[in-house]
Amino acid sequence: MIMRRVAIVGVGMTEFGEHWELGYRELVAQAGVRAIEDAKLQGVKIDALYGGTMAAGKLIGQEHITALIADYMGLNPIPATRVEAACASGGVALRTGYMAVASGMHDVVVVGGAEKMTDVPTGEAAIALGGAGDQEWELFMGATFPALYALAARRHMYEYGTTREMLASVAVKNHANGAKNPYAHFRKEISLQAVLDSKMIADPLTIFDCSPISDGAAAVILMPLEKAKEHTDMPIEILASTQASDTLALHSRKSLTELMATKVAVRRALEATKMTPKDIDVCEVHDCFTIAEIMAIEDLGFFEKGKGGQATLDGETALNSKISINTSGGLKACGHPVGATGVKQAVEITWQLRGEAQNGRQVKGAEIGMTHNVGGSGATCVIHVMKRAD
């Protein structure tokens, strides 16, 4: 089957943070309208909507969420489909929209991701998020996600000599980037010592090693590359979209220090594009915890296994260094409204490849970008590789 080339022609997002004044539908509408305006779609027929959201039922009491979105945004009667893959919901929604356009099923697709997480107490949000793991064998037994990633961190420290300072350096770097991002939940730099001295959540992870509970939404517009140039002078082509799975429960995996789904998905993406990790200029990785970023940059092939912590501490993942990681601030500083994260990553990479990243966080000469979105503790991973279209 011959697949069409697919491009992003418009992007938009809300600020991530605590939006007491806005509901779910207002956040989605804000991001969607910005993407549509960016794509200059006024008067153009939209064929389909794919929306990533993880836990709207538990967090805001609303299921059937994409029907609500289509109705509220005046998009009826187009098909509107909800996509759920825990924290990878946005990334898998993007992949679903990509496949719809590449296959020829649809020409103009809106992909959105959103979550409204701050309307419930933190404990209720934690229970909702815990369902991304094995509810029977992990959550029910008291293993929250900080606890699961703390196990991974402790094992990584044992096997490779990773230190708390190395973990903390991830947070320091991502807050430095987030401080430059007008959409970020946290826009303040922090020191290494502040991370080390902050409240312990699950040893060795402190509160500054953990991504926040956030509200927010993001959206992108997809269409065939040959039509994209009618709407933008700089379409961003999606060169590869890959996805892989692993066991839901952490205890069933061969290793606590790597994510097999990441390794499989990135291998397929690089094979499809005939690239190597050295070809990637900028990457948004899934840093729900600082140890998650360290494992990600190793599993993606940017650094040898066990060397990611030292590389981060040495500044090799900072802006305009060996590989620019999480220029948005990542989940750690930009925020993590779980259904929106995978789409937000694509928005950030689009801005980077267009040369439009604001406030001094632009990667110089960025031509190839990647997104890495993970569901749960690694049971789902979706990778996208993008470039400025020729």
pLDDT in tens, the chain (390 residues): 679 999 999 999 999 999 999 999 999 999 999 999 999 988 889 999 999 999 999 999 999 999 999 998 899 999 999 999 999 999 999 999 999 999 999 999 999 999 999 999 988 888 888 888 888 888 888 888 999 999 999 999 999 999 999 999 999 999 999 999 999 999 999 999 999 999 999 999 999 999 999 999 999 999 999 999 889 989 999 999 999 999 999 999 999 999 999 999 999 999 999 999 999 999 999 999 999 999 999 999 999 999 999 999 999 999 999 999 999 999 999 999 999 999 999 999 999 999 999 899 999 999 999 999 999 999 999 999 999 997
Question: How much is the pLDDT for 132?
Answer: 86
Which candidate in 106, 336, 372, 384 is catalytic?
Answer: 336
Question: How many Cβ atoms are within 10 Å of 72's Cβ, its own excluded?
Answer: 16
For this structure, is 336 an active site residue?
A: yes
Question: How much is the pLDDT for 43?
Answer: 82
Longest dimension (CA), the chain: 59
Question: How much is the pLDDT for 126?
Answer: 85
Judge whether 143 lies within some domain.
no
List alpha helices for 274-329, DSSP H: 290-299, 308-313
Judge whether 371 lies within some domain.
no
CA 55 → CA 20, 50, 108, 111, 363, distances in Å? Answer: 18, 16, 27, 18, 34
Judge whether 106 lies within some domain.
yes
Tell me the CATH number at 106.
Answer: 3.40.47.10
The pTM assigned to this predicted structure is: 0.97
Strand segments (E) across the chain: 6-13, 48-52, 80-83, 109-115, 200-202, 205-206, 216-224, 236-245, 282-284, 324-325, 368-375, 380-388
Question: How much is the pLDDT for 1?
Answer: 67
Judge whether 185 lies within some domain.
no
Q: What residues contact residue 259 under an 8 Å CB cut-off, 6+ apart?
A: 246, 295, 296, 299, 374, 378, 381
Which candidate in 19, 87, 334, 372 is catalytic?
Answer: 87
Judge whether 311 lies within some domain.
no
Distance CA 215, CA 115 (A): 6
Judge whether 51 lies within some domain.
yes
Backbone angles phi, psi at 246, to 5 degrees: -145, 180
Domain range for residue 100? Answer: 6-120+213-228
Distance CA 164, CA 157 (A): 9
CA 290 → CA 2, 15, 120, 234, 314, distances in Å? Answer: 40, 22, 25, 34, 15
Question: How much is the pLDDT for 42?
Answer: 81
* Cis peptide leading into residue 204 (ω within 30°): yes
CB 336 within 8 A of CB 107: no
Judge whether 110 lies within some domain.
yes
Distance CA 266, CA 44 (A): 34
> Which residue shows structure tokens 């080390």?
196
Number of domains comprising the chain? 1
Judge whether 10 lies within some domain.
yes
